[in-house]
């Protein structure tokens, strides 16, 4: 890992810890909404790289509402009326493209990219807020961050030194089966250590299994973002975070890990 990447992590991790652990949930909610907006902007900019023209303003506004709906008091997208608001948002985006001065050609791609930015970025970001608002939310959220960071680190070092069998070369040539296994082992190990500090009621077996599952979910999130980037011909989603790339580059694993953990806890 580059020195710039390490220095950025040293600065950002304590800030994230304070917001997650020390401050009221509304501060983390604000952070998630800002991150979702930035992530959507990066996604829409990637889409434009191939000539698609998503509706950035409407898509971002819809995304903010979707993300906020995970916060108690703003949950208007859930319950009996949820389908109405989601449908209204989709109608608005489609109608805006219908009556736009742009040519008819490309309308399908424009609308699809706009809606995918809402649900892939903003909605999946919102699950981190949902975790924070749940029982022992601070502990589970920090647990997930530590496990995913351990998975990324383990996969990088094991893959770099021992990787011989490509995991999915047409999407991510540098990822290896050995790296995935190393990431899962590192995630399981950190999950074991984290439970003693954060979640002592979690059994050893559950911690190991959950750490491994989150590592796989995070790897899938990473691969999906790589799929999008490769399809539009870009290396990074942006350059917001020195050494890490854009917001999506840094949070792609969390976009899949957070829903996986949220629904696991709901069935627990």
Residue 248 sits in which domain range? 3-267
- pLDDT score, position 13: 82
Name residues whose C-beta falls within 8 Å of residue 216's C-beta, 6 or more positions apart in sequence. Answer: 180, 184
| Ranges 77-86, 178-187, 189-198, 247-256: which has the least confidence | 77-86
Question: In 3D, which of 180, 176, 239 has the Cα closest to residue 45?
Answer: 239
Q: Is pLDDT above 70 for 80?
A: no
Residues recorded for the chain: 268
Torsion-angle region of 241 (φ positive above 0: left; ψ -120 to 50: alpha; else: beta): beta
Confidence of residue 4 (pLDDT cuts 50, 70, 90): low
The total number of structural domains that make up the chain: 1
Confidence of residue 241 (pLDDT cuts 50, 70, 90): confident
Question: Regarding predicted confidence, which is higher, 13 or 237?
Answer: 237
Confidence of residue 74 (pLDDT cuts 50, 70, 90): confident
What number is the average pLDDT over the span 43-57? 95
Q: What percent of the chain has pLDDT over 70?
A: 93
Confidence of residue 76 (pLDDT cuts 50, 70, 90): low
- DSSP category for residue 20: I
- pLDDT score, position 85: 83
* 220 within 8 A of 256, measured Cβ to Cβ: yes
Q: Is pLDDT above 60 for 2?
A: no
What number is the average pLDDT over the span 242-259? 91
What number is the average pLDDT over the span 8-16? 79
Question: In 3D, which of 223, 193, 33, 250 has the Cα closest to residue 128?
Answer: 33
Confidence of residue 75 (pLDDT cuts 50, 70, 90): low
Confidence of residue 242 (pLDDT cuts 50, 70, 90): confident
């Amino acid at each position: 890992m580059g020195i710039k990447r390490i220095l950025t992590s040293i600065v950002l991790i304590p800030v994230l810890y304070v917001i997650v652990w020390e401050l009221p949930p509304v501060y983390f909610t604000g952070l998630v909404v800002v991150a979702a907006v930035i992530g959507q902007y990066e996604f829409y900019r990637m889409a434009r790289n191939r000539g698609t023209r998503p509706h950035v303003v409407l898509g971002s506004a819809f995304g903010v509402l979707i993300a906020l709906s995970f916060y108690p008091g703003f949950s208007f997208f859930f319950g009996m009326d949820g389908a109405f608001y989601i449908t209204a948002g989709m109608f608005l985006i489609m109608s805006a493209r219908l009556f736009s001065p742009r040519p008819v050609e490309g309308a399908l791609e424009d609308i699809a990219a706009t809606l995918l930015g809402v649900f892939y970025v903003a909605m999946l970001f919102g699950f981190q807020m949902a975790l924070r608002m749940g029982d022992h939310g601070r502990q589970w959220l920090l647990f997930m961050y530590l496990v995913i960071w351990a998975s990324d680190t383990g996969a990088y070092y094991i893959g770099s030194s021992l990787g011989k069998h490509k995991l999915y070369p047409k999407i991510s040539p540098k990822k290896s089966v050995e790296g995935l296994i190393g990431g899962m082992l590192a995630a399981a190990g950190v999950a074991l250590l984290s439970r003693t500090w954060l979640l002592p009621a979690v059994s050893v077996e559950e911690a190991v299994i959950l750490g491994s599952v989150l590592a796989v979910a995070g790897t899938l999130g990473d691969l999906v973002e790589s799929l999008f980037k490769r399809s539009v011909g870009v290396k990074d989603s942006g350059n917001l975070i020195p050494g890490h790339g854009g917001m999506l580059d840094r949070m792609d694993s969390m976009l899949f890990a957070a829903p996986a953990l949220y629904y696991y806890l709901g069935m627990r």
